[in-house]
Structure 1
Amino acid sequence: MQSTSGNLENLVIRKARLSFSGMKVMLKLTSLTLEFVTIDDENLVKINECLPFLHVLNMTRIIGLKEPKIQLLHLQACRFTGYPRSIIIRAPNLTELKLRCIEPNLLILECPSVSDLNISIVEPSETI
């Protein structure tokens, strides 16, 4: 995918296994949706580094995440559903956040521009 993705602006990936090893920066990608995906980036370091201009990030049931840290300067909308031990979101331009997690040990939000906030913390017995 990397060789043909230079002009890609919107990417949706469902039911796949992704490796971010060797991934290059994708400056034009502004919207990423991952659903039921297994990734090798347990803290989202590569996504933060390689997709710096994301405006929209949707992540649903991502396997492989342990302690995701979303640190994206241009992020405006984020939807996250999953089972992380902890989650940190640092996004100064984020205006919309929808977060649904099973009892994370730690939740840090540094999103001073959020105006549409929806957070659901559910017990392990509940279905996400």
Structure 2
Amino acid sequence: MIYEEFRRQLGKAGLTVKEFAELIKQTPNSITNHAAEGEVPSHLAIIASLMGDMAEAGVDFRATLGRIEYEPSKPRGGATKGRFGGSKQPDMFIRTGKGPNKTMTNATTGLGGNERGDMFAGDGEEHDDAQH
């Protein structure tokens, strides 16, 4: 389904993209990102079409959705300290000691640093911050 038809179906249902996203426990961006592609995935097209037809027939689709128990989708990416968002990647830092002041070595470059982000040339040895 092209994105404009998708929006038309949401209009029939009396919904904005934001309201639709909230009803299906998605983020609005996860829906509007499809505008650039020009088409929406078939599962979203089916849901929007059913909602539009149900609304036209006087059926309360909100009550139907309210009876369904489901978990929201987990956001993709999930950037955290030492890990960029997007596709799953290996951890960037490997702990080489215990405690808050011990070295963390970048798994890719071999450079070392501590948990505060202070960086220095890694030699594979444990270091205490006070020495650097």
Q: What TM-score, normalized by structure 2, do the two folds share?
A: 0.18
Greater strand content: 1
Q: What TM-score, normalized by structure 1, do the two folds share?
A: 0.18
State the structure with more CA Rg: 2
